[in-house]
Structure 1
Amino acid sequence: MEPSPTSRLALAALPGSVRAARRHVHDHLRLWGLPHLIETAELVVSELSTNAVKATGFPTDSPSYGELSNGLNAICVGLYVAGACAVIEVWDSSDEPPLRGDADLDDEGGRGLLLVEALATRWGFRRVEGGGKVVWAELKVETQ
Structure 2
Amino acid sequence: MGYSEGMTPQRHQVVRWRPPHGEDAAVAADARAWARRALPGLLAEPARTNLEDDVELLVSELAANAVLHAGGLGHVELHCTGSELRIVVHDEAQALPVPSPSVAPDIDHGRGMLLVELLATRWGVRPHPGRGKDVWLDLPL
Structure 2 counterparts to residues 75-114 of structure 1, below 5 A = 75-102=74-101, 103-114=103-114
Q: Which residue of 1 is the match for residue 40 of structure 2?
A: 30
Give the aligned length.
125
For residues 17-65 of structure 1, give each alpha carbon's deviation from its aligned partner in whole angstroms, at most 9, with x where no partner exists.
11111111111112234443211100110111010011245xxxxxxxx
Shift of 1:106: 2.5
One-letter amino acid of the counterpart of residue 137, structure 1:
L
Question: Does the CA-based 8 Å contact 2:80-2:86 persist in structure 1?
Answer: yes
Name which one, 1 or 2, has greater alpha-carbon Rg: 1
Unaligned runs of 5+ in 1: 58-72
Aligned-pair identity (%): 34
SS at match of 2:12: coil
1:15 to 25, 35, 40: 25
One-letter amino acid of the counterpart of residue 91, structure 1:
H
Question: Does the CA-based 8 Å contact 2:77-2:87 persist in structure 1?
Answer: yes
Compared with structure 1, are the counterparts of its residues 96 and 140 closer, same or farther at alpha carbon in structure 2 (3 Å cutoff)? same
Question: Does the CA-based 8 Å contact 2:62-2:89 persist in structure 1?
Answer: yes
TM normalised by structure 1 equals: 0.78
Query: Does residue 1:45 correspond to 2:59, yes or no?
Result: yes
In the alignment, the residues of structure 2 paired with residue 74 and residue 111 of structure 1 have an alpha-carbon distance, to the nearest angstrom, of 18
Structure 1 segments, 4+ long, off by >3 Å, are 33-36
RMSD: 1.7
TM normalised by structure 2 equals: 0.80
Question: Does the CA-based 8 Å contact 2:70-2:95 persist in structure 1?
Answer: no
